[in-house]
Structure 1
Amino acid sequence: MSKNTTRRWSTAALTAAVCVGSFVLTSPSAPAAQLPDRTAVIAAPAPADAAAPGLGAAPRISRAQVLARAKTWLTANNGRPVPYSQTKYWKDGYRQDCSGYVSMALGLSKPGPNTVSLKNDGYTRRIAMKDLAPGDLVIKANSNSADNRHVVIFDGWANGAHTVYKSYEQAGGGAGTRWKQHSYGVNGRDGYHAYRPVNITG
C-alpha cells in the first residue's frame, strides 16, 4: 500500500472518530433508566383486614340502599345468614367479618377496610349518638385486637328514650349476619361512638 493511500485511510479514520465523538457530545442524553419499584416487587400481600384503597371512588349511596344491601346477607347462605369469619371472603368478594359486612352494605371497595380504617381513614365522620340515622354506624375501634373491635349498622331507635336501637351486624360465636337490638355507645363509656359514612346521601 502506498504512503498516499495510508495517509488517506488515516485521515478518514480520524474524521470518523471526530464525527462519532461529536455525536456523543452533542446528542441529547437519554433519560436515566428507571429502577423498578422495589417496594412493589418485594411487598407482601396486604393482610385480609387491610384498608381498601379508593375511597374517592366510593359510590354515593342512599340510606335505604345501605339497609337493603345489609339485609341480603341475612339469607345469602342458601336462606341462612352468611357465617362470620375474619379470614374468609363471601361470594361477593367481601370479608365475612363485621367491617367487611359494613363495607359491603356501603358499597366500598372489596374486600373492605377494617374497623379501625372505617373510623380513621376518611370513610366516616364522628357524630353525636342523638344524631344517628338509618345507615349510620356505631364503631368500637380502640383496641389492638380485632376480637375487641366491632361495628354495627344503625337501623333506628327501638324506644322513645333512645336507650336501645335496632341494628344489623356480622357477629361471631356462630351468629353470622343478624338484625339485633343493642345499646352500644348509649352510655358513652363502653368505647362505642356514632359515625356517619361520608358516601351516604341524606
Structure 2
Amino acid sequence: MKTRTLIAALACTAAFQAPVAHAADDPGVLIACGTTAEDRVTSRGDALVRSQSWLDAQVPYSQQACHENEYGSYRTDCSGYVSMAWGLTHSRTTATLRDVATEIPRADLRPGDALLASYHAALFVRWADEAQSEPVVREQTGPDGAPPVERKWTAQTASAYTPIRYYRVTEG
C-alpha cells in the first residue's frame, strides 16, 4: 500500500505546468490494465481520434485506475494516455515511452507525436503560432479526478520537453 500511496503522490501532473517527479517503479505493475498482442500500426489521424475519445468521455486522472473503451484498457495518467493514443500493448511510463519512440527535431513535430519529460508526457496536436514555439497538446493531467485537456503550452513550457515519434506511426 505504501507503494501505491507513493505513486499517487508522485503522479505526473501539469495542471499548472510544473514539473513533478514520477515514481521510479512502473505503476503498470500494480495496475493490471488490459493488453494487446502487439503495438498497433497507428496513423496520425487514428492517434488524434483515439485521444479525442478520452476528452469526450472526460476520463478522470488517476495512476491507480484503468479506463476501457473500444481502443483497449489503459492507465488513466499522462503516459497511459499517450500509450492509448498510439495503440501500445500496455500503458507505458514516461521512462519507458522512449522504448517505442525515437527523438525527433522540434521542427519535425507532427500531429500524433509526443512531447516527453521525465515527469510528464503529452500528445502533440498542432502549432499555435507561426514560429512553431507554442504547441497545442492533449494531455491527461492531475490532480486525481481531473479530465484530460487540449491546450496551448507556452514556448517556455515546451522547451522543457523532448519531441518523440512513435516507431509504428504512419502518415495516412
TM-score range, shorter chain: 0.7 to 0.9
Aligned to 1:104: 84
8 Å CA contact retained: 2:37, 2:89: no
d(CA) in 2 for partners of 1:58, 1:102: 13
Q: Does 1:69 align with 2:50?
A: yes
SS of 2:97 mapped into structure 1: helix
Aligned to 1:86: 63
Aligned to 1:176: 147
Aligned to 2:136: 166
SS of 1:171 mapped into structure 2: coil
Identify the match of residue 157 of structure 1 among 127, 130, 154. Answer: 127
Unaligned runs of 5+ in 1: 1-45, 142-148
RMSD after superposition:
2.4
SS of 1:65 mapped into structure 2: helix
| Larger helix proportion of the pair | 1
Provide the aligned length of Structure 1 versus Structure 2.
139
Deviations 1:150-182 (A, max 9, x none): 000000100101121111100102532111111
Q: Does 1:117 align with 2:103?
A: no
SS of 2:28 mapped into structure 1: coil
Unaligned runs of 5+ in 2: 1-24
Identify the match of residue 162 of structure 2 among 186, 193, 197. Answer: 193
SS of 1:94 mapped into structure 2: strand
Structure showing greater Rg: 1
Query: Once the two structures are aligned, what percentage of the paired residues are identical?
Result: 34
Aligned to 1:135: 112
| Larger strand proportion of the pair | 2
Question: Taking structure 1 as the reference length, what is the TM-score of the superposition?
Answer: 0.62
Residue identity matched to 2:80: G
8 Å CA contact retained: 1:138, 1:185: no
Task: Decide whether aligned partners of structure 1 residues 185 and 139 sit closer, same or farther in structure 2, where only a CA change above 3 A counts.
Answer: farther
Task: Decide whether aligned partners of structure 1 residues 47 and 131 sit closer, same or farther in structure 2, where only a CA change above 3 A counts.
Answer: closer
Aligned to 2:39: 58
Residue identity matched to 1:91: E
Question: Taking structure 2 as the reference length, what is the TM-score of the superposition?
Answer: 0.73
Deviations 1:74-127 (A, max 9, x none): 122xxxx110001111134210000111111111113x11111002x2x10000
